[in-house]
Structure 1
Amino acid sequence: MLSVMHLAQLNVAHLRAPIDAPELAEFVALLEPVNTVADEAPGFVWRLKESESDPTATVIHDYGDYLLVNFSVWESLETLWNYAYRSAHLGVLRRRREWFLRMAEPYMVMWWIPEGYIPSLAEGMARLERLKAEGPSPEAFTFKDAYDSSEAVSLPAAAEARK
């Protein structure tokens, strides 16, 4: 029996200033509408939220004060692509240099997970580190070097997540 796989994605960005700084006010104002577009997008499954009641609350973590984390699960590579590059998200993405520092290393990673499994932020950060250290593989990849879910179904991590 073939398992249904979903796509986990993590991306990080280094803010140019604290999240409450005036120069980030426009970005913060765009968080709620862009997150709503994501939540309502075809193929969206889940995203990590700091608060259910405050859609502008950024995820609190231990990976650095100015590191913004976006972590979500999608039904497919195509549904994530459509959200990222064929929705209102693209307008915000095009302006990222206004709010975030340039990153010389990979800042986004994707991997396949069994349907119904929600990975931890620590797992996502480990996948990003793996991509940085080893390059793209079925365990950690990017849009440019994507792998099909069939290449991940038999990996040990997928089997472990199904338990």
Structure 2
Amino acid sequence: MSHFHLAQLNIAKAKDELTSIVMKGFVDRLNEINTLADDSLGFVWRLQTEEGDATSFKIFDDPSLILNMSVWENIESLRNYVYKSVHIELIRGKNEWFHKMNTPHQVLWHVPVGHIPTVREGEARLLHLEEHGPTEHAFTFAKPYIK
């Protein structure tokens, strides 16, 4: 049994306010997609308010950036959720709701079992990935680091 879990942070720059018609197709699916994550094999935790929402959290002092952060038992569980479930439909529609980003928008890293990452921790990992590329400290699906 591993003594580590996998944390992930994903950010996106919204094309408009979450209450706008532009963002409706994305926002309307948030509960469905969050419930899917919660019920997925290997899911451990996700950043959310008491109401189950993560859209009120901000990152990099940019109000147009939305984020999600979660912890999974391993990279395979996260990959299955992201790419082999209905979640892929949101990835396919991302250009409708989000601006293209020229910097990394997702980062993965290992955390000790039981550790809950903070938004600031996720920011630091994303900046590390941008500055150094994939390393043991911060990596991607394309270039993972397996513990």
Instruction: Give distance in 2, aligned partners of 1:107 and 1:47.
Output: 17
Instruction: Give distance in 2, aligned partners of 1:48 and 1:57.
Output: 6
Identical aligned residues as a percent = 42
Gaps of 5+ in 1: 150-163
The correspondence of residues 7-156 of structure 1 with structure 2, limited to 5 A, is 7-49=6-48, 51-53=49-51, 55-56=52-53, 58-63=55-60, 64-149=62-147
Q: Determine helix, strand or coil for the equivalent of 1:122.
A: helix
Q: Determine helix, strand or coil for the equivalent of 1:22.
A: coil
Q: Does the 8 Å CA contact 1:59/1:69 hold for their aligned counterparts? A: no
Structure 1 stretches of 4+ with a deviation exceeding 3 A read: none
CA RMSD of aligned residues (A): 1.4
More off after superposition, 85-94 vs 58-67: 58-67
After TM superposition, give the deviation of residue 39 of structure 1 in Å.
Answer: 0.5
Q: Does the 8 Å CA contact 2:5/2:112 hold for their aligned counterparts? A: yes
Distance verdict in 2 for CA 1:129–1:57, change over 3 Å: closer
- Give the number of the structure whose residues are more often helix, by fraction: 1
Gaps of 5+ in 2: none
Aligned residues: 146
Instruction: Give distance in 1, aligned partners of 2:27 and 2:78.
Output: 22
Q: Does the 8 Å CA contact 2:44/2:71 hold for their aligned counterparts? A: yes
Instruction: Encode CA deviations 1:59-94: one digit per residue, 9 max, x unaligned.
Output: 322521110101000000000000000111011111
After TM superposition, give the deviation of residue 3 of structure 1 in Å.
Answer: 5.4
Instruction: Give distance in 2, aligned partners of 1:59 and 1:94.
Output: 24
